[in-house]
Amino acid sequence: MRVGNGLTCRFWTDNWSSFGCLEQYFSQDSNFSLRIPAAATLSSLQRDGNWRLPHARSERQLNLQAYLTTVQLTEEEDHYVWEIEGTTSTRYSTSAIYSCLYGEGEVVPWDQIVWIAGGIPKQSFLCWLFVLNRCPTRDRLLRWGLQTPPTCLLCNLAPESRDHLFFSCTYAWELWLSQSRRSGLDPQRIWDAVITQLQAFSSRSWRAMNYIMSQLAIFSFNVALRLLLGFAFYGRYMASPQTSLVAIVQLCQQIQGLQAPSAVAVLNLLNQVIIYSLWREQNARIFKSLSSTQEALFGVVDCAIRDRLLSLSRPTVSAPSPTLLELYFWFLSPYS
């Protein structure tokens, strides 16, 4: 607490002095109350510039009275400040407090594909658990000693594990294949390869941009250019689009690819929605004895992405670029 006029600073409970909370500081003294009310403020204890405190009867009380000779009330209002390792701020930061208490955490390469801006929190949390391989898949349940069939409920062809669900399972692979190809991705079937690919997409270096282009080379050059730069319509952004891969790469080195982060955001959201939908489908088969076809689950994924992107789409006059939802619709149109 920074003391100003003392009208709101509470004498006993606020941390306004170098001794901290006085209620705790004097807790060992026999004459603890000092005949000062519990709700007293600093301004109520001063009159005509003099502090109205009883005579000191302990070393702690003497220290306090000596400290009060350095405190001058002003016309400014009292206000709270937060001090962390010598740095003060008028705003409270939970992350700063956490870092101070527990230290900096380990830097991981997958943070940008798990904790994504605009992501759905419960889906980001589930994706985080799967990245750490902490979800109760059947292989983990068996290692814990629980009696359960090992077979995957989605395909009934192989033992269930995280790496099998994403995306060695034929049921899951069909969903991932159809959606990822619509978004211009060359889909990977092995979990580690999927994570590595999305990490490359999330990187903002031009090496990642060239990686994107190499993955999109299986499509037409015009479509690849539109995906990378986020061009919903050629005429809106470019009079004469390039028609060769070399020309596209050269263009990418000159233009900063303003819509590339938006395209990456859609791809990362797509990945999390699919992971969440497949896990929910697996749980529905276990606990509700309900199953969905691949076409029905595709519709669930598509609807979830549209709803989320619609809530994030805020077009403005100063930003004429396509919204995230427009990008997603454009992703669908070339391959539908």
Q: What pLDDT digit, counting tens, does each position of 83-100 carry?
A: 887 788 888 888 888 888
Give the per-residue SS3 of the chain. CECCCCCCCECCCCCCECCECHHHHCCCCCCCCCCCCCCCECHHHEECCEECCCCCCCHHHHHHHHHHCCCCCCCCCCECCEEECCEEECCCCHHHHHHHHHCCCCCCCCHHHHCCCCCCHHHHHHHHHHHCCCCCCHHHHHHCCCCCCCECCCCCCCECCHHHHHHHCHHHHHHHHHHHHHCCCCCCCCHHHHHHHHHHHHCCCHHHHHHHHHHHHHCCHHHHHHHHHCCCCHHHHCCCCCCCHHHHHHHHHHCCCCCHHHHHHHHHHHHHHHHHHHHHHHHHHHHCCCCCCHHHHHHHHHHHHHHHHHHHCCCCCCCCCCCHHHHHHHHHHHHC
Q: What is the pLDDT of residue 237?
A: 34
Domain range list for the chain: 1-105, 112-335
* pLDDT tens sequence across 148-162: 999 999 999 999 999
pTM, rounded to two decimals: 0.63
Q: What confidence tier does 289 reach under pLDDT thresholds 50, 70, 90? A: very high
Look at residue 318 in the predicted model and tell me its pLDDT.
54
More confident call, 60 vs 229: 60
